[in-house]
Amino acid sequence: MKSAKNDLIRYRLERAYDTFEDAEILAERAKWNSSINRLYYSAYYAVMALLLYTDLHPTTHSGAKSNFSQYFIHTGKIDKYYGKIYSQLFTMRQKGDYDDLFNFTEGKVLPYFTPVRDLIKIIDDIISINS
């Protein structure tokens, strides 16, 4: 059973990295709404890997955000800066996906690349150190 759990954790981390690359490709094409969507999902996949690693199993995106905040941000295991980034991405992804006549700009999206890449790495390091 532990092997299956570890395989799923690793799969989710790989999805996080792959989806981050998708965001970069979309940014190169100036597809800002799609890029923010992929940035959010890359962070989401990493957060889900972390939550699974700690035996938390949220069933919604809001649940993942809440668990991440409660167990990792508020406890200081991960800097609150990344909690804020994740929360902003959550909101931005919904806005970009569901609001009519709305488009993100390069200036709004590009600043999220470095913190998302850093968050994925932080989560990967937590899981790797404790595996």
Mean pLDDT of all residues in the chain? 95
Instruction: Note down the domain range covering 91.
Output: 2-130
- The pLDDT assigned to 131 comes to 64
101: left (phi over 0), alpha (psi -120 to 50) or beta: left
pLDDT one-digit tens code per residue, 87-109: 999 999 999 888 887 899 999 99
**CA 91 → CA 84, 88, 97, distances in Å?**
11, 5, 10
- Number of structural domains found in the chain: 1
Q: Which residue in 98, 103, 112, 100 sits closest to 32, CA to CA?
A: 103
Q: What is the CATH number of the domain that holds 54?
A: 1.20.120.330
- The pLDDT assigned to 76 comes to 97
Query: Position of tokens 């990967």?
Result: 124
pLDDT one-digit tens code per residue, 25-78: 999 999 999 999 999 999 999 999 999 999 999 999 999 999 999 999 999 999
- The pLDDT assigned to 10 comes to 96
At 78 the three-state DSSP class reads: coil
